[in-house]
Structure 1
Amino acid sequence: MIQLPNSVKAYFHASNEEQLDSFLDAFKEDAYVFDFNREFKGLEAIRDWCKSDILDVHVRFDITDAWEQEGAYIVIASLDGEFDKTNLPDPLLLIHTFKLSEGKIQELHVSLP
C-alpha cells in the first residue's frame, strides 16, 4: 500500500475520531464531493454531509487498500457504524477516489467496488 497524502489520511482519521474541523481542513474551500448520485459543492455543503452521513451515525473506516492512478489517490475502505445495514454487503467496502490541489482534497468520489 502506498503512503497517502496528509489530507487523505486526515479525511479518514478525522472521520474515525469524529473531528469535524479537522475533517473540513482536509478540503479546499471550493471542493466537490460525489457520494452515490449526490453532489456536495463547497465547505458548507460538505460540512452538512459529513455531519449527517459520517459523524451522526459514527462511521468508522478501515483502509484495506490504496494506490495512486493518473494523479488520483484511490482508497478502498471497509466501514461500519450505526446506520441501517439492511441489504448491504458484509463487509461493506467503499472506493474513495481523491483528487488533490495544493495538498488538499479538491474532489472526492465515493462508490461501491
Structure 2
Amino acid sequence: MPDAQRSEQLIAELPPPIAAFVRAANLGDLHALLATFVDDALVNDQLQDYWGKEAISAWAAGDVIGERLTLAVVKAVEHYGHCIVTAHIDGLFDKRGLPDPLVHVFYFSSFGSKIVKLIILRNQSGI
C-alpha cells in the first residue's frame, strides 16, 4: 500500500463530494457514502450498472461496506470537470489470483455537491 500520509493528502485535495465518498468507504459508513450521490446516480462497478440510490445502497452494502473495502489514493486527476482517482484497493474479499497491489480507477462525475456518475474499473497498468 502507498504511504497513508500521501493518500490522505491526495484525498484532501479531491473535490468535496469525491473526498467524502473515499472517506466514507474507508470508514465503512454506508449512510455517509450514500449521501455523496444524487438520487438517480449511476454506479458502474466492473461493467455492472447500479442505477439510483436503492441499487447503489445494495451494491455499497455488499461490495464496499460488507467487504470492508479501503481505498489508498495514489493519483488523482481532474479532467474537463471529471475526477479520475487511482487507488490501491484492500479489504476482506478473496485476493487469490489478484495482483498486489490491486489497482482500481474511479471515474467520478459530479454536479454541484453530489456525485452523478461513478465508473470503477480494474487498472492493468500497476500504479
Q: TM-score, normalised by structure 2?
A: 0.85
2:51 aligned residue: 41
Greater helix proportion: 2
2:62 aligned residue: 52
2:16 aligned residue: 6
Partner residue of 2:82 out of 72, 84, 104: 72
CA deviation vs aligned residue, 1:70-99 (integer Å, no higher than 9, x gap): 211000011111111111110001000000
| Mapped partners of 1:58, 1:35: distance in 2 | 16
Greater strand proportion: 1
1:104 aligned residue: 114
| Mapped partners of 2:45, 2:27: distance in 1 | 21
1:85 aligned residue: 95
SS in 2 for 1:95: strand
The one-letter code matched in structure 2 to 1:58 is R
Could you list the structure 1 runs, at least 4 aligned residues long, displaced by more than 6 angstroms after superposition. none
Q: TM-score, normalised by structure 1?
A: 0.95
| Mapped partners of 1:41, 1:30: distance in 2 | 6
Q: Cα RMSD (Å) of the superposition?
A: 1.2
Identity %: 34
The one-letter code matched in structure 1 to 2:110 is L
